[in-house]
Amino acid sequence: MGNRCRLRTAICHGNSRRCGYPGLRAHNPPTFPITQRSRRTYICGVKQPPHCQMTTHKQDAGAQATQMNMLMDIKRGRLSHLSITRCVFNQLLIKSGRALKKMSNTAVGVIPSHVNPDLQEERDRASFNVTELTNIIDGGAEKTLLRKRLEKLIFSDPDFQKFPDIQTFGTNSEFYSATVLKSTKLFKLRRELKWTDEEFDIALRLGGQGHALGLQHGMFIPGLERLATEEQKAKWLTLAKQYKIIGTYAQTEMGHGTYLKGLETTATYDPKTQEFILNTPKISSIKWWPGSLGKSTNHAIVLATLVIKGKKYGMHPFFVQIRSMTDHTPMTGIKVGEIGARMGRMTSDNGYLILNNIRIPRENMLMKNAQVSPDGSFTAKAPNQANYATMVMVRVGLSYYSYQLLSRGVTIGVRYSAVRRQSKLDPKEREPKILEYQTQQYKLFPGLALAYAIFFSSRSLRMKYMEAYQEIKNGNLQKLPELHCESAGMKAFCTDNMLRELEIIRQSCGGHGYLNASGIAMLVTIAAPMVTVEGETTVMYLQVARYLVKRFANASTGQQLDGCTAYLSMDHAAYMCPLMSEDDCRNMSRLCDIYSYRVYMTVSRVAKQLQTDIMNGMPQHFAFNKNLVNLVRAAKAHCYYSVVKDFSKAIQSMQASPQTIKALKTLCCFFAIHGITEESGDFLETESIGLEQLQWIKRLQGTLLAEIRSDAVALVDAFDHHDISLSSAIGSYDGNAYERLFDSAQKDPMNKEEVHPSYFQYLRPFIQEMNKAKL
């Protein structure tokens, strides 16, 4: 109601005493029932003066002139569109004839075709060529063209164009249907157009959030590729790749997600029938969370503890049909469904699965790594952890996915900050863009730098993964421990920091950041589970720490280490902080040395403490638990160092113009020194830097914020996210944030009717009752 009054105030040129909101307090509410006829003449129970009663009373000349002036103001862009409702405007149209109608179309619900001048100004001042950086991110100019070609194809489809609105306003069920439609359309296009894997990957990324059938390509197909024998692949992988079957990866249970040795689902071998009998015997053993399971899939890779003649052989994968291929109903003995509403948008139909004496043929155990022969003898070709291969792949993928989410978020935050004006810096000047405030830069630029850092580091991880995967496929598991450490560490680092920065960016958008239409709120909720899925952050950091402590022990015996822990075997005895002056703080090689020393000290201290505790008689698991916080600290330090190093190396080897290199170097340096200021306690405590160096670093941080500020919009433009992928009213390429916000509000189903049914059901009787009451 208040809003309505405020709107009237705006329309009446702020004459609030005559018809507006503050005047309300001076009036008594009407003491008669409000009828359809009388409704328009009363706003908040206040009888409106004639010039505000546009549809019910004849306008006088003055009121007409007022409306005409207002329309002219709107046309010139002087009046905030937020302050005009479509309904009031329609009333104006009826009264003011064709000439006015023409003008009004440019004002309400119509998004200008030009780029917001405030954003254009930012683009004009860029110090480097944005397209060049976009090409680097895409992997070359021809890849950018390929992406754009796919964008054009996919986003010309009205169903994809509608998707952002369904995401913002649809019910869970509508959103789920839209994601099924989206997945099936992309799958069909892939077949019809014979897309390569690369083209399909790009298409999936462009498709934005929510793929009901995402697990098909996310884990089901990769699971079959990694866990099935050649014979099994010929049978099922082909069906899966042709979408003749739709599947998921069902590992987590209600009682256990992290501790895989604790899984309670059993696959008991029956040599008489040569079948496995699958059971989820207790409430805690119900499969719980698998994506696409709730409503979409008809098959699953079910991870279960193998039992032969009463003996347990650890977790193994089984190929199970869960729904009928004719009517999609659950197979006999299976109960399956959705697990319920969750935080934010449900980007997949996560499900539960109960298995009650489900018999599957012996051949349905995925036997690449271990076999059960018809008589029930068990043989393993690889350690049981080889069955974790699908998870390693997804962890690598999630690191890159963190880049995608964060780069979208920071695009929204930076563009919005360039078009939003608020408060005063110089009292004589107009209100500045909020991007001018140093504190705003401090909210946005760590996320911007992190997005680039994650991009380059996850790209490097992907390359290492491809190399190692080829060897692992051929049975050489030598690189597996390091790959596990790096993928677990990057997954934890990227998702954890990405989520933190996204929430800060959301807050940097003020009130609008809380609206779904902003796009940033949605990104935060989509990012939230990423810290949990595929290995919870702390658990993953502890896997890294375990590897670091082992490698430290190796290095202590004089072994020369290679790979990501090589620094542990370097001689650090003569370490001195390499920063001799403030200028040195821009030297990436010196900053990397500081990081390397900090990790070395953190790892060595916790490793020595563990050793002392064990030597003093503490059982190993107790000693480990007593040092968990410091172990996680060591793992985080290791990961930060790796990412700084990867980012810096990528720039060193980059073929690009000096201007682009300079912009990236500034960002990389900012990323490194930001990490030091954030954890200055650790850096000081380990004597990686001294107090004086910290002061230099903090001073430089201010300078770098100002340097990045002038290129901030160009740096986010270089990500080149399509407006449909961004789904953001405040972060679109044209920067017409207010018009898009208003336009979006008009699409809210709540605005379909002028008066909500609850008014007639509850509010009107209540108001009437209150008006009849004596006191």
Ligand X SMILES: Cc1cc2nc3c(=O)[nH]c(=O)nc-3n(C[C@H](O)[C@H](O)[C@H](O)COP(=O)(O)OP(=O)(O)OC[C@H]3O[C@@H](n4cnc5c(N)ncnc54)[C@H](O)[C@@H]3O)c2cc1C
Annotated binding site for FAD: which residue ranges?
A: 252, 291
- By CB under 6 A, residue 257 contacts ligand X: yes
- By CB under 6 A, residue 350 contacts ligand X: yes
- The region of 469-477, 529-537, 548-556, 656-664 touching ligand X under the rule CB under 6 A is 529-537
Q: What is the DSSP string of 153-218?
A: HHHTSHHHHHHHHHHHH--HHHHHHHHHHHHHHHHHHHHHHT--HHHHHHHHHHT-S--TTHHIII
Helix axes 537-556, 588-615, angle to 10 degrees: 80
Rounded CA separation 623/609 (Å): 9
203 vs 480, beta carbon nearer ligand CO8: 480
589 vs 625, beta carbon nearer ligand CO8: 625
Pairing assessment for the beta strands 247-250 and 299-308 based on DSSP bridges: parallel
51 vs 226, beta carbon nearer ligand X: 226
Pairing assessment for the beta strands 358-361 and 275-279 based on DSSP bridges: antiparallel
- The region of 82-90, 255-263, 326-334, 721-729 touching ligand X under the rule CB under 6 A is 255-263
19 vs 549, beta carbon nearer ligand CO8: 549
Please check whether residue 741 is in contact with residue 730, taking contact to mean a CB–CB distance below 8 angstroms.
yes
Task: Work out the number of other CB atoms within 10 angstroms of the CB of residue 189.
Answer: 18
Rounded CA separation 569/560 (Å): 6
Q: Which residues are annotated as a binding site?
A: 252, 291
576: Cα separation from own chain's centroid: 40
Site string for ligand X, 196-215 (x = CB under 6 A): -------------------x
Two tokens, residue 451: 């997005």
Rounded CA separation 580/773 (Å): 80
Site string for ligand CO8, 120-139 (x = CB under 6 A): --------------------
Instruction: Tell me the site size for ligand X, rule CB under 6 A.
Output: 21
CB of 248 to ligand X, least distance (A): 6
Q: Which does 350 bind (CB under 5 to 8 A by kind): ligand X, ligand CO8, none?
A: ligand X
Task: Look at residue 513 and give its three-state secondary structure.
Answer: helix
From candidates 88, 136, 542, 568, binder to ligand X by CB under 6 A: 542
Dihedral, CA atoms, 260, 266, 269, 274, nearest 10 degrees? -110
Q: Which residue is nearest to ligand X (CB)?
A: 257
- By CB under 6 A, residue 539 contacts ligand CO8: yes
Please check whether residue 269 is in contact with residue 276, taking contact to mean a CB–CB distance below 8 angstroms.
yes
Task: Mark out the alpha helices in 43-140 (DSSP H runs).
Answer: 61-75, 86-104, 117-124, 130-138
Q: What residues form DSSP beta bridges with 372?
A: 378
Instruction: Tell me the site size for ligand CO8, rule CB under 6 A.
Output: 25
202-237: b (≥16 Cβ within 10 Å) or e: bbbebbbbbbbbbbbbbbbbbbbbbbbeeebbeebb
- By CB under 6 A, residue 397 contacts ligand X: no
Residue numbers 287-306 binding ligand X by CB under 6 A: 289-291
Task: Look at residue 54 and give its three-state secondary structure.
Answer: coil
From candidates 539, 618, 654, 661, binder to ligand X by CB under 6 A: 539
Using a 10 angstrom Cβ sphere, with 0-12 exposed, 13-18 middle and 19 or more buried, the burial of residue 239 is: middle
CB of 394 to ligand X, least distance (A): 9
Rounded CA separation 189/211 (Å): 15
From candidates 264, 496, 534, 682, binder to ligand CO8 by CB under 6 A: 534
Rounded CA separation 418/432 (Å): 9
Residue numbers 61-100 binding ligand CO8 by CB under 6 A: none
Site string for ligand CO8, 390-419 (x = CB under 6 A): -xx-x------x------------------
Q: Give the length of the chain.
A: 775
Task: Mark out the alpha helices in 557-657 (DSSP H runs).
Answer: 588-615, 620-626, 628-652
- By CB under 6 A, residue 351 contacts ligand CO8: no
Residue numbers 367-386 binding ligand CO8 by CB under 6 A: 385
Please check whether residue 287 is in contact with residue 253, taking contact to mean a CB–CB distance below 8 angstroms.
yes
Two tokens, residue 704: 């770098």
Site string for ligand CO8, 202-231 (x = CB under 6 A): ----------------x-------------
Q: What is the DSSP string of 296-358?
A: T-SEEEEEEEEEETTEEEEEEEEEEE-B-TTT-PBPTTEEEEE----SS---S--EEEEESSE
- By CB under 6 A, residue 251 contacts ligand CO8: yes
Three-state helix/strand/coil letters over 19-48: HCCHHHHHCCCCCCCCCHHHHCCEECCEEC
From candidates 223, 446, 513, 529, binder to ligand X by CB under 6 A: 529
From candidates 105, 131, 258, 652, binder to ligand X by CB under 6 A: 258
- By CB under 6 A, residue 258 contacts ligand CO8: yes
Site string for ligand X, 731-760 (x = CB under 6 A): ------------------------------
Q: Which residue is nearest to ligand CO8 (CB)?
A: 388
Using a 10 angstrom Cβ sphere, with 0-12 exposed, 13-18 middle and 19 or more buried, the burial of residue 35 is: exposed
224 vs 591, beta carbon nearer ligand CO8: 224
Catalytic residue numbers read: 534
Task: Work out the number of other CB atoms within 10 angstroms of the CB of residue 612.
Answer: 11
Q: What is the DSSP string of 693-720?
A: HHHHHHHHHHHHHHHHHHHHHHHHHTT-
- The region of 88-96, 133-141, 428-436, 525-533 touching ligand X under the rule CB under 6 A is 525-533
CB of 317 to ligand CO8, least distance (A): 12
Name the one residue in this structure whose structure tokens are 């270089």: 718
Residue numbers 215-254 binding ligand X by CB under 6 A: 215, 249-252
- The region of 32-40, 532-540, 699-707, 751-759 touching ligand CO8 under the rule CB under 6 A is 532-540
500 vs 698, beta carbon nearer ligand X: 500
Residue numbers 142-201 binding ligand CO8 by CB under 6 A: none
Name the one residue in this structure whose structure tokens are 């920067």: 735
- The region of 128-136, 230-238, 458-466, 531-539 touching ligand X under the rule CB under 6 A is 531-539
- By CB under 6 A, residue 535 contacts ligand CO8: yes
Q: Give the H or E element holding residue 738.
A: helix 737-746
250 vs 676, beta carbon nearer ligand X: 250
451 vs 526, beta carbon nearer ligand CO8: 526
- By CB under 6 A, residue 297 contacts ligand CO8: no
271 vs 344, beta carbon nearer ligand X: 344
- The region of 258-266, 330-338, 590-598, 677-685 touching ligand CO8 under the rule CB under 6 A is 258-266
252 vs 693, beta carbon nearer ligand CO8: 252
- By CB under 6 A, residue 252 contacts ligand CO8: yes
Rounded CA separation 588/534 (Å): 33
- By CB under 6 A, residue 247 contacts ligand CO8: no
Applying CB under 6 A, the residues found at the interface with ligand X are: 215, 249-252, 256-258, 289-291, 350, 529, 532-536, 538-539, 542
Applying CB under 6 A, the residues found at the interface with ligand CO8 are: 218, 249, 251-252, 257-261, 291, 385, 388, 391-392, 394, 401, 480-481, 484, 533-535, 539, 543, 546
